Structure 1
Amino acid sequence: MLTRVELTMDCADPARLAEFWKTAAGYVNEPPPAPFATREEWLASFDDEYDDGMGGAWLHDPSGVAPRLCLLQVPEPKTAKNRLHVDLRVSGDGTPDEKWARVSAEATRLRDAGAQVLQTFEGHHVVMADPEGNEFCLA
């Protein structure tokens, strides 16, 4: 039985990518599992055989609606287009021109936060990449 969906993304710098996704999606750092006071304390509770020396960051949507995001450090770089990508939907109603203006403004905000615009489908959506090149759509 499915209890929840979470997305795990491999990356080179989990802390940097976490800051971007907190800006992009409004996520916050996920607290460590009880009874641990810190994430480091939780990680230290595992046997050394599970410690690969790589870092991670765990984020969640404070409203509890969107999936949890786990960013895990890996040694190899991204080499191909993502088979799965995140879609970010800009909220609000209005005319098509008003909606597109909000999408365009959000694309600019995310570009300023470190994303790159890959392709624009005028009036509909923008394909972007996060600071490590992971593609996502903004609509």
Structure 2
Amino acid sequence: MAIQVQVTFDAHDPAALGEFWCAALGYVRQPPPDGFASWDDALDAWGVPPDQRDSANALVDPDGVGPRLFLQQVPEPKTAKNRVHLDLNVGRSAPEGVAPQDAVRAHVARLVALGATVVAEREVRGESWVVLQDPEGNELCVQ
């Protein structure tokens, strides 16, 4: 049996970065635990002070297929290239009748409108992709 994976990002603003990644991936914020109507109710019950409530954000695939993303607040800024990054395979899952390149271009434009920055466009051995940075500078590729 395979082991489930969670991908963790360090972030300055987990809530804002979570909004970007929800839009980028079609994810949703993880619902509060059973027995709680909201995250505020859960955090109240657990005694988490209000000034610490924005220190983390968890995102999930609403279909339950993709890995959970966990964004944790850290004080230091990003200083180097990621050693691991996400590749969004938009072209491979383009709707019928939509050319893969058009799906990639449209998704890149959407991410740029949400605060991403295009770093480079690459093509190697017939494979092409666009390298971007999310609003906090984390690299990702759209192919």
Give the structure-2-normalised TM-score.
0.82
Gaps of 5+ in 2: none
Confirm whether residue 8 of structure 1 aligns to residue 44 of structure 2.
no
Q: Which moved more, 1:64-73 or 1:84-93?
A: 84-93
Q: Which amino acid aligns with 2:101?
A: W
Distance 2:57 2:117 in 1: 22
Distance 2:66 2:3 in 1: 13
Alignment partner of 1:124: what SS? strand
Distance 2:95 2:39 in 1: 39
Aligned to 2:99: 98
Distance 1:83 1:69 in 2: 17
Identity of aligned residues (%): 47
- Deviating above 4 A after TM superposition, structure 1's stretches of 4 or more consecutive aligned residues are 44-48
Gaps of 5+ in 1: none
Which digits, 9 at most, give the CA deviation of each residue in 1:9-30, with x for residues without a partner? Answer: 0100011101101110000010
Give how far 1:38 is off: 2.7
Distance 1:118 1:44 in 2: 42
Q: How many residues align?
A: 137
Aligned to 1:116: 117
Distance 2:95 2:45 in 1: 48
Give how far 1:41 is off: 3.8
Give the structure-1-normalised TM-score.
0.84
Root-mean-square deviation over aligned CA pairs = 2.7
Q: Which amino acid aligns with 2:141?
A: C
